[in-house]
A and B are shown apart, each in its own frame.
Chain A
Amino acid sequence: MNDHDHDHDHDHVDDPRALRADALEAILIERGLVDPAAIDQTLDYFQNHLGPMLGARVVAKAWADPGFKNRLLDDGLSAIGELGLGGPQVDHLVVVENTPGVHNVVVCTLCSCYPWGLLGLPPAWYKSLPYRSRVVREPRVVLAEMGCVLPDEIDVRVWDSSAEVRYFVLPERPGDTDGLGEDALAARVTRDQMIGVAR
């Protein structure tokens, strides 16, 4: 039905959304409103070149290099530019730092804003109705449902990315990482930490 089935999932034969997507693709290509090559390039770029490994490099460098960390907290976009990072949906970046007494968590209640250039496309739960509706109202409960129970004495700060600023959480460096290089540090960073649904 289409040429872009790069992955192992498949459409249900009679899913009307699949039929409509194929129809729209065919119409747009016929009218010259979309370049078939651009479709493939876009999917390749987002699926194979973006992802949490980029954000993890930023976190690892901040953990390893106090000067970089200061620059990152001061002007996120310039600092990640030092690593050649930036990219889509990162027009202005604010990095918020977890500390022993503060936990940050990011959401977009109105749609699904997310720092694509650092984390790739968001997982389905980030865009889900329960996450969007509940995390601004009862973040401790939502995080607990996701396996992250925060002690009462930790301040919880929720960031609703309602404009074009993108938020990114700098987690605390684990205590058992002395002497590790940036690559080894990056391997310890999870996407969930950079969203703020893990500690």
Chain B
Amino acid sequence: MLNVENINVGYKDLQVLWGVSFQVNQGELVALIGPNGAGKTTTLKAIMGLRRPWSGAIYFEGCNLCKAPAHKMAELGIAMVPEGGRVFTGLTVLENLELGAFPPHARKHMAQTLEEMYQLFPRLAERKFQRAGTLSGGERQMLAIARALMSRPKLLMLDEPSFGLAPLLVDRIFAKIQEINQAGMTILLVEQNVRAALELAHRSYVIQNGRIVGTGTSEELLSFEFVRSAYLG
């Protein structure tokens, strides 16, 4: 479904990704793990069209994403939960969610999806008319996830969804991710909570210094000593 082929990406003069390749198949839950600054976020941004690869190609359902404008990705069915609970701080919670359903196919089902989201995160229903900027850190994170789901994507990319969430919620969110995935949504997960991520994922890639250095099922990866020592502490 998603095919990343040998991309090189960077900021100004600084190359961050070096020949990164991986794929995500329909219905799969794939995790991307790696230390701080390895280039995980950059990879997601490249897929989203926010950072153009210097070279290489990215295919989504056979369509070359490098040729599509960035705002088309949502329409194609890719959604992303940005790092650090980035939401529209000046808009209310409700407006944020409504905007999540921007692509035409999602807008049709807006009311229904909205209900689903309120069930998933009741706190958001309570804060409906609060400006997103005044939410607590964790509440923002919920809003960011919910907003991405509002677009009813085929591929959901999450950049550290557990970031700043209380333990109880982390469990809930991982359960929810699994549930969504089992319902058929393809998921690419970037996560620092490595153990949880590996438990969840069908397959994982390990990225270090901008290069893919390992891949396999969770058991396989957990058997690698370098993964254990570097990520599990």
Is A bound to B?
A: no
Residues of B bordering A, CB below 8 Å? none
Residues of A bordering B, CB below 8 Å? none
